[in-house]
């Protein structure tokens, strides 16, 4: 006869809330266009396996509705805080792509994304896919699973999460801008030099239509510089993932 421990069921349900915030708030699932049923099934299955690997003493012992409500809120908060670090790494690639698109003129012709019902630029989508490829290439998904296991040790299932501080959250927001500038700084500098040269040329030849001349030049210089610096993108993205897991260690203590 199969006997299911209710404490294991409670631990699986609470851990599913923690992991659901991590999966739902990061582009790991949205970029692959995974259906909602798969996301829920994957989250519950992973939570059940992780909870079964824990000793029975680590399963939550909750016996009141108030304690259950506090545990649910704590798990959702912890999952959102952990997801913020991953979202910063992937969001940096999206932000860098939007900056380059805006400067070279691709921002005027966006691509409609039916999954998010929003308009996205071509380079931002490409850089996000590059970030996902690098994520699995450097085995960051294994580090992600180890980070989740570390969170179970530092913050047991069902316990209140009160260790995070505001400076740690602000550093995660700053990570978006730092990584984005590291990715697109060479392209923006090359475009700035081009804009300066075109400004001098427009003063020397006022009869020339600089606007129409600058459009293909910006595209050529922007994409060319991005291709030249493409070899440096993977180390920068990998460094961003390292900063994400350092943020996780600071948050979890």
3-state secondary structure of 65: helix
Tokens of 83: 């997801």
- Report whether pLDDT(69) > 70: yes
DSSP state of 119: E
- Report whether pLDDT(199) > 50: yes
Task: Quote the CA–CA distance of 90 and 15 in Å, as a whole number.
Answer: 24
Give pLDDT, residue 130. 83
1 falls within a domain: no
pLDDT band at 1 (very low <50, low <70, confident <90, very high): very low
- Report whether pLDDT(212) > 70: yes
- pTM score of the predicted model: 0.77
Task: Quote the CA–CA distance of 174 and 152 in Å, as a whole number.
Answer: 27
- What is the domain extent for residue 46? 6-252
The lowest-confidence range among 14-18, 137-141, 203-207 is: 203-207
Contacts with 35 (C-beta within 8 Å, 6 or more apart), sequence order:
none
87 falls within a domain: yes
pLDDT band at 102 (very low <50, low <70, confident <90, very high): confident
Q: Structural domain tally of the chain?
A: 1
Give pLDDT, residue 110. 57
Vertex 89: Cα angle to 88 and 95 (nearest 5):
75
Task: Quote the CA–CA distance of 192 and 169 in Å, as a whole number.
Answer: 33
Confirm if 26 and 79 have CB atoms less than 8 A apart: no
Mean pLDDT of 104-112: 63
pLDDT band at 7 (very low <50, low <70, confident <90, very high): confident
pLDDT band at 20 (very low <50, low <70, confident <90, very high): confident
pLDDT in tens, 21-46: 777 767 776 666 667 788 888 888 88
Percent of the chain at pLDDT > 90 equals 0
Give pLDDT, residue 57. 78
């Amino acid at each position: 006869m199969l006997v299911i421990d209710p404490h294991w069921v409670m631990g699986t349900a609470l851990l599913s809330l923690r992991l659901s915030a991590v999966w739902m708030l990061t582009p790991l699932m949205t970029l692959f266009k995974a259906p909602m049923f798969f996301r829920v099934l994957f989250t519950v299955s992973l939570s059940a396996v992780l909870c079964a690997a824990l000793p029975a003493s680590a399963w939550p012992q909750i016996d009141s509705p108030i304690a259950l409500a506090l545990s649910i809120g704590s798990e959702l908060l912890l999952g959102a805080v952990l997801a913020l670090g991953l979202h910063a790494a992937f969001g940096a690639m999206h932000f860098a792509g939007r900056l380059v698109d805006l400067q070279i003129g691709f921002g005027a012709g966006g691509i409609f994304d039916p999954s998010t019902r929003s308009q996205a630029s071509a380079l931002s989508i490409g850089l996000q896919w590059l970030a996902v490829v690098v994520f699995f290439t450097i085995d960051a998904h294994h580090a992600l699973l180890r980070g989740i296991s570390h969170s179970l040790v530092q913050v047991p299932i069902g316990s209140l999460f009160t260790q995070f501080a505001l400076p740690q959250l602000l550093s995660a927001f700053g990570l978006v801008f730092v990584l984005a500038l590291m990715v697109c700084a060479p392209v923006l500098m090359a475009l700035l030099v081009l804009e300066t040269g075109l400004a001098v040329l427009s003063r020397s030849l006022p009869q020339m239509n600089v606007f129409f001349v600058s459009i293909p030049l910006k595209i050529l210089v922007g994409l060319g510089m991005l291709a030249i610096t493409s070899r440096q993108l993977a180390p920068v993205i990998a460094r961003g993932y390292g900063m994400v897991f350092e943020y996780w260690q600071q948050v979890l203590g």
